[in-house]
Amino acid sequence: MNKKKRTEIISFFIVLLACVLLYIFFMQRNRYTLTFPKGDDLENISLEMGSVTKEIIDEKTMKEFVLELSGDGRMTKQESVNDSPGVKRYTKVELNFKEKGSSVVYFYEEKGKYYLEQPYNGVYEISQDEYKGLEKYLNE
pLDDT in tens, the chain (140 residues): 688 888 888 899 999 999 888 887 776 566 666 777 777 788 899 999 988 889 988 888 888 888 888 876 566 667 776 777 888 899 999 999 888 888 899 999 999 999 988 888 888 888 899 889 888 888 87
DSSP characters over 60-117: HHHHHHHHHHHTT-EE-S----SSS-SSSS-EEEEEEESSS-EEEEEEEEETTEEEEE
Q: 62 near 45, Cβ under 8 Å?
A: yes
